[in-house]
Structure 1
C-alpha cells in the first residue's frame, strides 16, 4: 500500500496539475503554497465571468465555502456545474455545514453536481448528510470522525462520491472500501486552514490519477506525516506552518513509508 500511495505523490510532482480553487480568503495564501510544495499549480479565481474558461483549462476544481457570500456562492455553483459537465474531478469542502441556513442551502445545490470527493470534519459530514442532529462550532468539529461514518456512507451512496472525514483518525470511504489513516499531530489543529490545505492537496491528487480513493488516502497521509515530522522542529503553530510547507516539498519516500499508519477495512 505505501508503494502505491508514494506513486500517487510522484504523479503530482511529475504532472504538476493545474488546480482551480474557489476557496475562502482566510486560507488562500497557505493553500496556494501547499499546492506548490506538493508540485501542483494553483489558480485562485472567483470571477463569474471566467469560471468556465478556468475550469476548462484546469485538471481539477476545489470548492471551499469557508467565507461564503452571495457573489462567491454563485461562482461556486458555476464552477461545480462546469466541472460536472466537463467531467473534471472536483472536491467540496463544506466548511461550517449546519451552522446557518444559507450555508446549507448552497451546499444542497452544490451536491447536485456530484463532487468527486467531499472532505470535512465529522460535524460537517453529519450536517451535510442530515443523518443526525449535532452542533457545529463554527468550523470546528464537536463530533469524532468515527461518529460520522453512517452519514458519510449515506453521502457516498446518494451522490456517488468519496467522503473523507478528517479527525484524529482520518476516515476515507467509497462504495466498496474504507481507509483509516492515523497520521498527524494535535498541534496541527492550532494552524488555521490546514484542513483547507488538505482539501486542496486532494484536489491536486484527483486531477492526475485514475484511482481517486487511493489518491485521497495518499494526500491525507502526506499532509499528516509531513505535520508529524514538522512538529519535531517547530516551537509552536507559527513555525509549524512554515516547517510543514517545507516538509510537503522535501519529504522522502523513506520518511513517508516509515511514518505511514494506514489500515484498509
Structure 2
C-alpha cells in the first residue's frame, strides 16, 4: 500500500498552527488529500490537540507573541507524546524577529521535518542567503549541501523546495523534479505542502519509512500541481489554485508512478 493510500485509509488528524493568510486553503487541501485538518491556536487547547494528532505542523507566517507561545506549547506536547513535528520557517532571514524565533524553536523542539526555501533553511542554521520577503533571493551556494548540513545539525528530515526539491536526512538525499511555476503565484502553496508532508509522516514509522513518506509527499504534491497546470492552461493562478485541490483529491498511485521524477544522489535505502 502506498503512503497516499495509507493517508486515505487512516485519515490522520493533522494539527496546524499556520498563518492567517493560508488557513482555509491548507484545510481544504488536507481534506482533498484524505487527511483531517484541525486548526487550533488557543493556548488553552493546543497541547491537548497536539497530543491527539497524528502530526503537528507549525508555520511562522504571521507571527506575534501569542502565536509563538502557541507554537511552543503545541511543539512541546507533540515531543512529549512522540507526535511528528513539521516546521515551516516562513520568511526566516527576512527580519530579526523571524530569524530569532525560528532559531529558538529549533533549539527547544525536536523536529521531524523542516520545510522551506533555500534562504529560509539557510537562515535557520545561520548560513547567509539573500531573501526577499518570504521568497528566496539570488544566492551563491550549494543547495544540496545546505539541506544535508541542516538535516545533520538539526537531526531531522529537511526539504528545500525550488526549481527542484531536495529531501534529505543528512545521509540519504533525494531530488524530485515535479511541480510547476504556477505554485509560486499562489499564496500558501508552500504552506499547504508542509501540511501535506504532515499528513504523510503521520502514517509513517520512524526511520527510513519516515524519509520515504516525505519523498512521496513532496512528489505527490508536485505531480498534482503539474496536472492542475495542464488542466487550467491560460486561465491563470486562480483557476490553478482550485484545480490543485481537485488534483490532490483525484491523485492515484498509478498516476504518481507514471509521472514521478525522483532520483537519489546520496546514500542507499
Matched, 1:29 2:24: yes
Matched, 1:231 2:229: yes
Matched, 1:203 2:198: yes
8 Å CA contact 1:21, 1:200 repeated in 2: yes
Instruction: List alignment gaps of at least 5 residues for structure 2.
Output: none
Rounded Cα–Cα distance in structure 2 between residues aligned with 1:143 and 1:120: 15
Q: Which residue of 2 aligns with 1:127?
A: 123
Matches within 5 A, 1:72-87: 72-87=67-82
Q: Which residue of 2 aligns with 1:47?
A: 42
Instruction: List alignment gaps of at least 5 residues for structure 1.
Output: 1-5
Matches within 5 A, 1:137-148: 137-143=132-138, 147-148=142-143
Rounded Cα–Cα distance in structure 2 between residues aligned with 1:209 and 1:145: 35
Q: Which residue of 2 aligns with 1:212?
A: 210
Q: Which residue of 1 aligns with 2:113?
A: 117
How many pairs were matched up?
259
With the length of structure 1 as denominator, give the TM-score of the two structures: 0.94
User: Once structures 1 and 2 are overlaid, which stretch shifts more, 153-162 or 185-194?
Assistant: 153-162
Rounded Cα–Cα distance in structure 2 between residues aligned with 1:33 and 1:143: 32
Q: Which residue of 1 aligns with 2:144?
A: 149
8 Å CA contact 2:129, 2:139 repeated in 1: no
Matches within 5 A, 1:160-175: 160-175=155-170
8 Å CA contact 1:59, 1:208 repeated in 2: yes
Q: In the TM superposition, what is the alpha-carbon distance from 1:148 to its structure 2 partner?
A: 2.7
Query: Could you list the per-position Cα deviations for residues 61-85 of structure 1 after superposition, in whole angstroms to 9, with x for gaps in the alignment?
Result: 0000000111101101111111111
Q: In the TM superposition, what is the alpha-carbon distance from 1:253 to its structure 2 partner?
A: 2.6
The 4+ residue runs of structure 1 with deviation greater than 4 A are 143-146
With the length of structure 2 as denominator, give the TM-score of the two structures: 0.93
8 Å CA contact 2:29, 2:192 repeated in 1: yes
Decide whether aligned partners of structure 1 residues 146 and 228 sit closer, same or farther in structure 2, where only a CA change above 3 A counts.
farther
8 Å CA contact 1:145, 1:165 repeated in 2: no
Q: Which residue of 1 aligns with 2:244?
A: 244
